Structure formats: structure tokens, C-alpha cells
Amino acid sequence: MSFRPRDRILANLESIYRDAYERAKALGDQARMADLDAAYQREQLLLEVLLDIRDTLGALPASGESRADASPGADAITALERIRRITKLR
């Protein structure tokens, strides 16, 4: 499966927020500018986590490529462990 590049996705997000931010700036709406800035940072962080999960799951072998001695749920367990490590906050 081919995924859209991470840089392209993040650039699209930035473009959407930049356009809205520029409109608010042209209107002199400081509150809207602050809201958009905070929303962009939040959305960027969430999107990067989702992209990390996508990349991790995409790197897993397909079920037909798994080792013959692996249990049927091994790939799912491995995926969940990787997701837990990615999202673990310290």
C-alpha cells in the first residue's frame, strides 16, 4: 500500500491553518489568531502521532509473510506493543 508522504500531509495542514490565520490577521482578529495558532499546534501533534502509528503498522510484515512458528495473534500483539511504546508519555 502506498501512503501519502508525511511532508505533504503536514504541508496541507499548515496551508489550511495559514490561510485562516492570514484572514484573521487581515481583519485584526487577535483572539481568532490565537485560537488558530493553538489549534494548529494541537492538530499538528495529533497528526504526527497518527502518522507515526501509520508508519509503524505499515512496517509490519503482512499476515502471509509472518513466521510459520508465530502464533496467530502475534502480529496484532506486536503492533499494539509498538503503539504503546510510541504513545507512552514520560
pLDDT one-digit tens code per residue, 39-87: 999 999 999 999 988 888 877 666 555 555 555 556 777 777 777 777 7
Closest by CA to 39, choosing from 59, 21, 64, is 21
pTM given for the model: 0.65
Q: Structural domain boundaries of the chain?
A: 6-60+67-87
Distance separating alpha carbons of residues 31 and 70, to the nearest angstrom: 55
